[in-house]
Chains A and B, each alone.
Chain A
Amino acid sequence: QQQVKQSPQSLIVQKGGIPIINCAYENTAFDYFPWYQQFPGKGPALLIAIRPDVSEKKEGRFTISFNKSAKQFSLHIMDSQPGDSATYFCATRAQAGTALIFGKGTTLSVSS
């Protein structure tokens, strides 16, 4: 049973566009919602994360929107650049100290 559902599977945008990646979760006990960026052959790197008591968080060009009632959260990348082309994973966890559970990933391509 997939605990975090991520969409879309792939996304192509032009430079300067605003790609949006969505995730939905099942368990209301989840308490941490990070987004990771992964380049081929590398480990994932934390982009931005949010806690369920906040509805939005911005860090640079990255914004997380969080809807607790809908059990959904999304990543927005402002002014996307070709260097943003990577695979993005949403994640969450069952409780403090436990491992992160990942979505299936979204491959983003930003064309110049």
Chain B
Amino acid sequence: GAVVSQHPSRVICKSGTSVKIECRSLDFQATTMFWYRQFPKQSLMLMATSNEGSKATYEQGVEKDKFLINHASLTLSTLTVTSAHPEDSSFYICSARDLTTSYGYTFGSGTRLTVV
């Protein structure tokens, strides 16, 4: 089945630095990928929708200059958290839609970001 690989699984960074998270579709092409953030014991909240070759669409309240999304190829989308602060600590999850299956959305395994 469709597999989405997300890396790294865990990252700790110092406040003020930037962190890049990668999301790859391994066996299918993903023209659209989605980025979510999940705080402890809460649901997944959509941050942005990224389309290959174009600018990402951000949800209301998500700072596009802080959360940089690049979707340069059909199999790779990246999320860069710039000038990270402790309040950015969260679980970030990407998702891609495999158009070869009916309605299927596949999720990555998530990245636990801790900003100290």
Chain B associates with chain A: yes
Instruction: Tell whether A83 is near chain B: CB-to-CB under 8 Å.
Output: no
Does B110 contact A43, Cβ atoms closer than 8 Å? yes
How close is A110's CB to chain B, nearest CB, in angstroms?
A: 19
Tell me which residues from 34 to 89 in chain B have a Cβ below 8 Å from any Cβ of chain A.
Answer: 34, 41-44, 46, 49
Given A41-B112, A43-B108, A32-B44 contact (CB < 8 Å)? no
Choose from B42, B49, B93, B104 the contact partner of A44 (Cβ within 8 Å).
B93
By a CB distance below 8 angstroms, the chain B residues around A107 are: 41
Q: A42-B109, A97-B32, A104-B43 are known contacts; what are 9 more A-B pairs with Cβ within 8 Å?
A: A41-B112, A42-B110, A43-B108, A43-B109, A46-B105, A98-B49, A100-B46, A104-B42, A107-B41
Q: Counting chain A CB atoms within 10 Å of each CB, which of B91, B103, B109, B110 scores highest?
A: B103
Interface residue total, chain B, C-beta cutoff 8 A: 22
Does B93 contact A99, Cβ atoms closer than 8 Å? no
Choose from A41, A99, A104, A105 the contact partner of B95 (Cβ within 8 Å).
A99
